[in-house]
Structure 1
Amino acid sequence: MTARKLTQAIDACIVDLDGTQVDTLGDFKVALNRMLAELQLPPVRRDFIEMAIGKGSEHLIHSVLAEQLRQLALADDAGTCPATRPEARYEQAWRAYQSHYQAINGRFAELYPGVLEGLQALRDLDLPLVCVTNKPLAFARALLVEKKLEGFFGHVFGGDSFARKKPDPLPLLEACRALGTAPARTLMVGDSSNDAAAARAAGCPVALMRYGYNHGQPIEQVEADGHFDSLAELAAALAAARHNA
């Protein structure tokens, strides 16, 4: 744990969803592979999905389509004919993915250890919480309900809530506006360089979980105000910092 930097006063927390609260890789794998089967494309590897998660559904689908069409071209020497370009298949893929993800949202996902305890501990510190994710808002709300987390958050914002997604600072600045808190006193809690970049650009301190999805890169290489093994550990560090202030 590197909690020593978390010494500034914190008035509220912005908490990411996928990779921070919920391990949704199983959901992504099932929905994407059902989508690919519908498009008569080969299934995608789990490690590729993990590297592509975090920049919104559009980026994820584009990345998976490009990779699977590349694999198909290598297998049958299809070359670069227009029918194999990702753009030609994107709309069909998007509709299929939306349908399949909605059908299984949360069924193949699990809470990370310490999430419930950590969220409750943050609430016990009288810290208002808002969830900010790049997942589409409808899917985010349904997942929070499925995992019985919705009651912890006063606001939930998805990747389609604003004009731009993380790593752009706009979602965090709008979350601070909704909370009525200054960015410098609003902690961003996430699991990736996207969360850290958005926080730095918005002027928020940032704490990163050591698990989750960071595009295949070690999270300790991402500069932050603290790296933690669980939300419960983070909450304990904030409680200690407040006690010692």
Structure 2
Amino acid sequence: MITDSINAYHTIIQAVIIDLDGTMLDTAPDFLVAINRMRDEFALAAIELATIKQFVGKGSENLIERVLALDFSAEQITQHFDAAMASYQRHYLSINGDFSTLYPDVITGLQAMQASGLRLACVTNKPLAFALPLMEKKGLSAYFEVVYGGDSFSRKKPDPIALLQVCADFDLAPAKVLAIGDSSNDAQAARAAHCPVLLVPYGYNHGEAIQTVESDGIVASLLEAARLIRR
């Protein structure tokens, strides 16, 4: 259900900031393959997809720390972190996008937003070296004027720095820039930036129900979001 606040905002929305993992792409299978190949190099047992989904969304450093914490003490995590990160990045780059899929109505939603004259930016906590080739492979790149990754600034979402930079890039007040994501990171970053925010229910959100996250509403797809803005 969409709240009154987004109904008030949507008549002036001129741009949209969209998250990547869990919002446009189901990338958890890519993470799973890369992480388990890394774990194999450390003689650690493979982990399940459901576990990976709980760890996605706060950047690669957090992902590796949480994966290592399944087996290692804090001291051992520090000891092995750099090697584990290097292994993970090597494996991830070799399969980036091979196992991930677009969520339903992502392309049609982006097309509808463009047809409505909306400017589009992607803000993700994924490093740009991973995000840009992935978006190109999946046919997303052409829709976005701006793409910022988790290493584009000194802080990642839920910090609002990237969202505020998009507003500056587009020369728009935050109230005119809608954020769409799948997690509390996206909602908190949008609130801190004073942007309206919609959430999708099918992503990761660190293993927690998205309905518990404060937002301006939940939409079933990017296409539904585009129709809402157009109305």
Please give the range of the TM-score, normalised by the shorter of the 2 chains. over 0.9
Match of 1:223 in 2: 214
**1:37 to 2:47 alignment:** no
Match of 2:104 in 1: 113
Cα distance in 2 between the residues matched to 1:5 and 1:168: 22
**1:129 to 2:120 alignment:** yes
5+ unaligned residues in a row in structure 1: which ranges? 71-79, 241-245
Match of 1:186 in 2: 177
Shift of 1:38: 1.1
Shift of 1:56: 0.2
1:195-241 Cα offsets, whole Å, 9 max, x none, are 0000000111001001101111111111111201100111111111x
What TM-score, normalized by structure 1, do the two folds share?
0.90
1:34-113 matched pairs, under 5 angstroms: 34-69=37-72, 85-113=76-104
Match of 2:21 in 1: 18
Shift of 1:125: 0.8
Q: Percent identity?
A: 50
Which of 145, 168, 182 is equivalent to 1:177? 168
Match of 1:75 in 2: none
Amino acid of the structure 2 residue aligned with 1:234 = A
What TM-score, normalized by structure 2, do the two folds share?
0.95
Shift of 1:25: 0.6
5+ unaligned residues in a row in structure 2: which ranges? none
Amino acid of the structure 2 residue aligned with 1:138 = A
Is the CA contact (8 Å cut-off) linking 1:18 and 1:24 kept in structure 2? Answer: yes
Count of residue pairs the alignment pairs up: 228
Shift of 1:5: 3.6
Shift of 1:4: 4.8
Shift of 1:2: 2.3
SS in 1 for 2:52: helix
